[in-house]
Structure 1
Amino acid sequence: MSKTLSLNEIRSRAVAFHHEWKGEPGEERQQAQSFVRDLLHVFGVTGTKAALYEKRARRSSTGSGGYIDALVPGLCLIEMKSAGKDLAAAERQALDYIDDLSDAEAPRWVITCDFHTFRILDLHAEDDADTVVFTLEQLPARVEDLAFLAGYQARSFGSREQEAASIKAAKIMAGLYEALEGSGYDDHEASVFLVRTLFALYADDSGVWERDMFFEFIETRTSEDGSDLGSQLTKLYQELNRLPEKRQKNLDELIARFPYVNGGIFAEPLSIPSFDRAMRAQLLEACAFNWSAISPAIFGSLFQAVKDKKARRELGEHYTTETNILKTIRPLFLDDFEAEFAKQHHHKAGLKKLRARMGEAVFVDPAAGCGNFLVIGYREMRALDLRILERLQELGDSSQIPTMFFTKADLPVKMESFIGLELEEWPARIAATALHLVDHQANQAMELALGKAPEPLPLETITTVHVVNSLKVRWQDYIPPTQHLFIMSNPPFLGDNTRTKEQKKELQDAWGDASVLSRLDYVTGWHAKALELFKNREYGGEWAFVTTNSITQGDQPPRLFGPIFAQGWKIKFAHQTFAWTSEASDAAAVHCVIVGFTKDKAAPRRLFTYPSPKAEPLEQDAAQINGYLLDAENVLVEKRSSMLSPCLTKTLRGSMPSDGGNLIVEPEDYAEFAADPIASTYLHRYIGAKELLHGTDRWCLWLDGWDSRDLNKSALLRMRVEAVKDFRAASTAATTRDYPYHHLFRQLAKQDTSYVCVPRHVSETREFFTVQHFDADVIAGDANFTIQDPDGLQFAVMSSSAFITWQKAIGGRLESRLRFASTLTWYTFPVPEISEKDRAAIIAGGRAVLDARALHPEKSLAEHYQPLGMDPALVKAHKQLDKAVDKVFGLRDTTGKRVSNEDRLKALFASYAAMTGDSQS
């Protein structure tokens, strides 16, 4: 037998099985093993290696020993009872044995039988309601309920059980790689050998060939000390690449039973690896695992990591979940195809046209890695095609289903339509193999549903996964012309400070203009290449990339989205910031966005928002989506050197000491300086980031306008100035080293009047920007900005919900904290001309905020603005302030409904567009 039995073949065997056993008395002791052997034969499970009979096991409830009638490791446990016995009790007995089994042996299904009735329990089902019961007479009609014995796995793709199985499988492969690596086997050859072994293990459990035939080969054709394992496997792998008619006639009969595989997996000649007893034992343990339960996409991500020692230790903690991949491919193409399926549900001609359109589509991942976008995309498209075929049958039209059997040519969705470009050979090889595995799973699903599917062997050679640097090649050299192209990817996340010089050059070449770079992330090179491809009229379609959320922050949006919008692209869908991570509790998370582009003006705009980075997305329809992934005016905010608003005032950067700490007076030194009659005259309160937020005390020596003779009058002062001179003389920065005034801060920005002190960074959890008023004699350090504010308007505007909403929308971030950049978020803040009445109301609102803070002088800014603990009086004051500021943007409370930040954003972007005349719409 060279493949999984078809369901028709299984039914024929089931009929014969029924006739043979229907009149038997059903005695457990005399007939159980024969009955089980014959039953397994119906489903193609033959030989003593596939199933273990009379396996000793210990009952967890009593600790006493017993025997399991039959165990197919990793798949099912079979418990037989004499005719008429209680099968529910037999099931409890079977479950009592499972705790004594290893992880590799633990079954998914429990089958109990009394020779006349079958009872089947799926241990992965949510409740006992899924238990199946039928009679021997019903077996031919109910073979689908036992089809898992033949390799037809009923699986929930992306489920936790599949993820868990994939993690176990990857750990097994990591152990095999570690053993090969430790033996000194060539790394490239070890990679090829592992992929071949993976395929053989998977084929053993999934019906590609006879169940456990590979297991049987290792156990019966190799020595226990492992000395000949390498040569025997090499021989086997050679024959899997050889047509049966070209094999030697005196070939070992077990090797001769293996089918011809092809597909390129076994083509490359390899040197013979050396194995030992322990390595052979590892391989046998791998054979005991149920490889049909894995997800090719999840396993591929994990399998890619086995070469890295650190990654091997953390397998299962860092991998991409299918849920996250579906966030890209569903709104990019899958939802549209499924919506068309729903629309044409009752129309045969429409369903046939849909199949044809699916066959015209081409899917490309230009940073493919181990191929999980391609694998899941292929799986979902094949699943949709199967649903269409089933619906056509229901409508009485089987013209799309061949009378005899399916071939690859009968499928509109083909593997050659899924194209990957990948920099490294190892993940590219995994991607090709994973496509083979998911293709087999899709064919199994088709066989189960329609009774026919393409033959699993020989494999097609996958020629569409290319090992190239996709930023250095012309994509059209690898992608056939089509008007139905979907580009999807999760390119590398590298920022301005983490990319190499070579990668910077690649980025510049991709854009073709070094001036556009600014601090564009490396990932945007793939956007540039997509734009370049779609300029060619032979290509039409849509594209979407997962990227770090920094492309929607700071000065990147104008530089990235400007060229995209200029070519007529619109944002079709977007996921706002979320954590791209695995389900593992301590998995690393990267804050990401997903942006999909289309030129279809009629396509609905879908915006996915997240209450928190790890929350489930909430979908909303949008009128349009701008470069900040907001449903608002499509403007791109650029830095300014002058104020956009006539009402606002420029900022100054706080004073920068560059002094080695010698002009700063810490609390523990304050008493000494305060007691010095000369040094004390130069003491000023000093406000850095910590002092502003937490209200702590710190001072500095402000010697601007000093009397230089005071140096000779104060040893304390002289010591500090000399220390500054020594520090600056040792500096590597010429501007610091050559600065001639050792008594002064390196940069001076002292205010002549009272001012607002603005922090450079604010926690993203704050509801308001934490700013504070100070008198002119308080020195603000360079961790802050200052704004002259004689009447309080600047403080009030910056303290409003409108401003922090603008800052969060367009400003940059440091990690997740808000980064204040005055030329980007303050100079662009679009406050229009306001009346004297509105100005007075805003100033009064700011004063109310200060008065509410003054009610609790013991509290720092951090304590005042604790996200979950703001004082009611302060909340009330901010509501008064917001009402006044919102009014100038045309926003008002109506019918008791508060103005939302979404309302504010729409008003702010509209105001910016009106004041600048800039809109990408």
Structure 2
Amino acid sequence: MTDKQQSAAAAAFAERWRGRGYERGESQSFWIDLLSNVYGIDTPTNGFITFEDHQMVDSSNFIDGRIPSTKVLIEQKSLGKDLRKGIHQSDGSLLNPFQQARRYVVSLPVSEHPRWIVTCNFSEFLVYDMEQPNGEPEQILLENLGKEYYRLQFLVDAKNDHLRKEMEVSMQAGEIVGRIYEALLKQYDDNSTEALRWLNILCVRIVFCLYAEDAGIFSHDQFHDFLVTYEAKDLRRALRDLFEVLNTPKEQRSKYLQAELAAFPYTNGGLFAETIEIPQFTDELKQTLLQNASLDFDWSEISPTIFGAVFESTLNPETRRSGGMHYTSIENIHKVIDPLFLNDLRAELDEILDEKVEKQRVRKLDAYQDKLASLTFLDPACGSGNFLTETYLSLRRLENEAIRSKYHDQTMIGAFMNPIKVSIHQFYGIEINDFAVTVATTALWISEAQMMAETEKIVTFEDNFLPLKSYSNIHEGNALRTDWETVVPKSHLTYIIGNPPFVGANIMNDNQRADIRSIFGSKWKNIGEMDYVTGWYLKATQMMHGTDIRTALVSTNSISQGEQVANLWKPLFEEGVHIDFAHRTFRWDSEASLKAHVHCVIIGFSCTNDKHTMTIYDNAKEHKASNINAYLMDAPNVFVESKSKPLCRVPSIRKGNQPTDGGNLIIEAADLENFLACEPKSRKFIKRLIGSKEYINNKARYCLWLKEATPAELRQMPTVLNRIEGVRKMRESSSDEATRRLANYPHLFRETNNPETYIVVPSVSSERRRYVPMGFLTKDTIPTNLVLIIPDATLYHFGILESNVHMAWMRAVCGRLEMRYRYSKDVVYNNFPWPTPTEEQKEKIEQTAQAILDARALYPDSSLADLYDELTMPVELRKAHQENDRAVMAAYGFPIKTTTESQCVAELFKLYQELTNKKPITI
């Protein structure tokens, strides 16, 4: 089904179901109609979707619908039911359809937990992404389905089967290369840099020959049949002779060359040009090469996008030492290139193919091919070339569609009439690793061969893949020290794409820090806090100035969170940069045996005045934005910079007490009884100790709090004195001068803040919690530097801080540890725009805040981790939070029923802007 046909089918479905919908009587018919007639699932009830799975929650319940293959759970309601409104359950609780569906999840095996929960009332779909369980749902209206059918594509799209096969084949190829590599490494018996380089080049050449004989570049099994005639001891010489022949034009070869060698085509391209040392082969190595690598495996089916990275990782000593491979999946590459340019090119081709007049269509297709051939791409951190390779393949697939329409599957269009215009010479890269440069070049050659074969299935033409065209567009060098215009002039460049290194500011090596300093210079603030990837953002901006070049880069999510936002984006925005599209935080998984879980964003940006429609992607959800700010929100371009005091008149916040004691003043719960037995007089000086982990998980831990202890009392406690001596020695031996000065006060923590009462704020909390659990504590509990404290705070302050409004602000501007929230006093709390409530509104918030504390008190044996788990949160606590949310939203004047989290944050940014009298940066 084409896009146009699917759109028409969706519109027809919407019309059929307009004004209809009874939960019990028509749910199944509705979903079967949708899946079969709009999304092309033949007989959906034959194992694709199940209805009314029986589950036990508090009473007998049924899951309305489940799609196991795509991990979808459906909760269906009748037409007219409010999907956001709570419905009374048999246990007396009030749950909306999403909360009801979440209760079913508990009874499912973990392997069957849904990725998506869809609630529906026949006229509206609310889609919840369980990767962001506290995020707002994506709303899709039945009446708009004709235009927005693609937003429900996740119902049927598990990973593409063809893509999965390519991946499996490529991974198998990587395993074979690994075996060959290990065997050859033993034969080299030399770990020098030069020997390892020879080994890598040899492996690249062997793989190309294996691919060439399976893909029709060589004759079928030609490489195998040549090698099989030699004994293992002679293979070294045979390969050396073969490589020389492959690098020599036929007319320059010796006329006395043996027939098996003379039959090989001239390859060229520089792949076989260098003379390398080849080690002796063993019988085992010969068998691996001939049987496992050649006869038992079809190399023509590999994906050069995936395999190039697997190949490079397999043969890269650094990644081999780490025990795993990391490369970018094709799915994630398309998150970069689709919104940057591929979606537009696809839509343009679809429109041309709809042209009914053949001459007009052919003329437009010619122009379209010329446009494809005019696009130029740079990946300034290209690695093994997977972004360049997948982009080339994507353009050629579009071009092949154009060729098919132009020539109507003709079998001959005449000699010298090559219909292909897109070339690998449109693709440029910069890569610091010399071997990765070779792999990227080879992967592009293999891509070219595969796509030429695809074109030949459409129309026959006379053109030979060999000899390879010399290709030197992949530049070896440090991208942050290289002038990108020496690789490709900006006047010829269209797009910059890529996935620069994931290196945080705190873990960069000296060379990387020097790279950052060299390009940012002295005018930039806080460059010591900038991640390594920020260098690519600045270099891309410099390249884009005065051009229509557009860029999309993958980055760790830290560049759109916390203090780094203002450090990086404020100067870039001032230089004319604007964000065109963004994928908000998602987990970037390696498609390798060792998963590399990195939490990333993708940001498309440019300096051009010709702005495209701005789009924010939140996992699979898509939102058209009026503006995308540096926090990747649809909100004004304001920057929340570090602030030492609160923006509004509220109590000050501070860190807890850092021990800096070498563990000597801390008593673990398991040791407390023995310690008191040895030192009973210490009891009055032992207090409960909490950091974020202890507070949230109700974990017992203790400390010696000796601030009020007199010298006489200390001298009567020898065990305590031994501990104090341990503190003194630890501090005196420190390399930090401030710590050494603390040796004069060895009985005290570094800080000694112990207010009568205070609100405790965990510095780090799980992103799975809708609310960061804060609370009131007294001086009997000592807070460490791993929590924040707000002395003199009231119930009113607690109610505001525990509200959905404050949590939305926190999620937008806080830093992250992976995905966990990192609550910052200087960015989150001190910049938070508080409301100006009436006395009545303030009293209401105090009441709802107390109700939260009262609800918690009903479960004294449960930790805050238990109480704030979305699956186990008590009904009373959820109700109390919902009432508090409503009270706080009323104090801000936000519409309670219609305000989404993103709208709430946008309003808070506006309020912040007013309170700070900061003008937004206009671009």
TM-score with structure 2 setting the length: 0.76
Among candidates 287, 290, 307, match of residue 294 of structure 2: 287
- 1:627: Cα distance to partner? 1.4
Among candidates 215, 234, 254, match of residue 240 of structure 2: 234
- 1:713: Cα distance to partner? 4.4
- 1:406: Cα distance to partner? 3.4
- Residues 631 and 244 of structure 1: CA distance in aligned 2, closer, same or farther (over 3 Å): same
Structure 2: distance between partners of 1:314 and 1:690: 30
The answer as to 2:544 corresponding to 1:534 is yes
Q: Secondary structure at the match of 1:259?
A: coil
After TM superposition, the structure 1 stretch with the greater mean CA deviation from structure 2, 420-429 or 792-801, is 792-801
Structure 1: distance between partners of 2:380 and 2:227: 39
The answer as to 2:408 corresponding to 1:404 is no
- The match for 1:487 is 496
Among candidates 332, 347, 355, match of residue 339 of structure 1: 347
- The match for 2:265 is 259
Per-residue deviation, residues 295-330 of structure 1 (Å, max 9, x unmatched): 111111111022246856999964432111111111
- The match for 2:202 is 193
CA contact (8 A) 1:305 1:315 kept: no
Q: Secondary structure at the match of 1:344?
A: helix
Structure 2: distance between partners of 1:716 and 1:217: 81
Q: Secondary structure at the match of 1:774?
A: strand
Cα RMSD for the two superposed structures: 2.6
- The match for 2:658 is 656
* Structure 1: stretches of 5+ with no match in the other structure: 1-155, 611-616
The answer as to 2:194 corresponding to 1:180 is no
TM-score with structure 1 setting the length: 0.76
The answer as to 2:168 corresponding to 1:167 is no
In structure 2, give the amino acid aligned to 1:576. R
Structure 2: distance between partners of 1:316 and 1:393: 47
| Map 1:434-513 → 2, pairs under 5 A | 434-452=443-461, 454-482=463-491, 485-513=494-522
Q: Secondary structure at the match of 1:482?
A: helix
The answer as to 2:627 corresponding to 1:624 is yes
CA contact (8 A) 2:324 2:594 kept: no
CA contact (8 A) 1:215 1:287 kept: yes
Structure 1: distance between partners of 2:633 and 2:757: 37
In structure 2, give the amino acid aligned to 1:191. N
- The match for 1:742 is 746
- The match for 1:523 is 533
Larger Rg: 1
CA contact (8 A) 2:665 2:703 kept: yes
Structure 1: distance between partners of 2:796 and 2:787: 19
Q: Secondary structure at the match of 2:529?
A: coil
Structure 2: distance between partners of 1:199 and 1:157: 26
- Residues 707 and 242 of structure 1: CA distance in aligned 2, closer, same or farther (over 3 Å): closer
Structure 2: distance between partners of 1:876 and 1:196: 67
Work out the percentage of aligned pairs sharing the same amino acid: 34
Structure 2: distance between partners of 1:527 and 1:320: 19
Structure 1: distance between partners of 2:678 and 2:391: 75
| Map 1:218-617 → 2, pairs under 5 A | 218-220=227-229, 222-223=230-231, 226-285=232-291, 286-288=293-295, 289-308=297-316, 318-345=326-353, 346=355, 347-348=360-361, 349-393=363-407, 403-407=414-418, 411-452=420-461, 454-482=463-491, 485-513=494-522, 515-535=525-545, 537=546, 539-583=547-591, 587-598=595-606, 599-610=608-619, 617=620
- 1:440: Cα distance to partner? 0.9
The answer as to 2:225 corresponding to 1:203 is no
CA contact (8 A) 2:202 2:278 kept: no
CA contact (8 A) 1:447 1:453 kept: no
- The match for 1:856 is 859
Q: Secondary structure at the match of 1:368?
A: coil
- 1:721: Cα distance to partner? 3.8
| Map 1:518-917 → 2, pairs under 5 A | 518-535=528-545, 537=546, 539-583=547-591, 587-598=595-606, 599-610=608-619, 617-646=620-649, 648-667=650-669, 668-669=671-672, 673=676, 679-715=682-718, 717-739=720-742, 740-751=744-755, 753-894=756-897, 899-916=899-916, 917=918
| Map 1:19-30 → 2, pairs under 5 A | none
Structure 2: distance between partners of 1:735 and 1:755: 28
In structure 1, give the amino acid aligned to 2:662. G
- Number of residues of Structure 1 aligned to a counterpart in Structure 2: 744
In structure 2, give the amino acid aligned to 1:575. H
CA contact (8 A) 1:204 1:213 kept: yes
- Residues 596 and 158 of structure 1: CA distance in aligned 2, closer, same or farther (over 3 Å): farther
In structure 1, give the amino acid aligned to 2:251. E
In structure 1, give the amino acid aligned to 2:467. P
- 1:253: Cα distance to partner? 1.6
- 1:735: Cα distance to partner? 2.1
Q: Secondary structure at the match of 1:657?
A: coil
Structure 1: distance between partners of 2:285 and 2:726: 65
- 1:862: Cα distance to partner? 2.0
- 1:661: Cα distance to partner? 3.6
Q: Secondary structure at the match of 2:233?
A: coil
- The match for 1:97 is none
Per-residue deviation, residues 26-79 of structure 1 (Å, max 9, x unmatched): xxxxxxxxxxxxxxxxxxxxxxxxxxxxxxxxxxxxxxxxxxxxxxxxxxxxxx
CA contact (8 A) 1:572 1:597 kept: yes
- Residues 645 and 217 of structure 1: CA distance in aligned 2, closer, same or farther (over 3 Å): same
In structure 2, give the amino acid aligned to 1:746. R
In structure 1, give the amino acid aligned to 2:404. E
Per-residue deviation, residues 224-254 of structure 1 (Å, max 9, x unmatched): xx11111122112211221211111222122
The answer as to 2:921 corresponding to 1:920 is yes
CA contact (8 A) 1:302 1:315 kept: no
CA contact (8 A) 1:572 1:596 kept: yes
CA contact (8 A) 1:171 1:315 kept: no
Structure 2: distance between partners of 1:382 and 1:759: 52
* Structure 2: stretches of 5+ with no match in the other structure: 1-159
- Residues 448 and 718 of structure 1: CA distance in aligned 2, closer, same or farther (over 3 Å): closer
Per-residue deviation, residues 361-388 of structure 1 (Å, max 9, x unmatched): 1111111111111111111111111212
CA contact (8 A) 2:563 2:641 kept: yes
- 1:789: Cα distance to partner? 3.4
Structure 2: distance between partners of 1:654 and 1:465: 52
- Residues 736 and 448 of structure 1: CA distance in aligned 2, closer, same or farther (over 3 Å): same
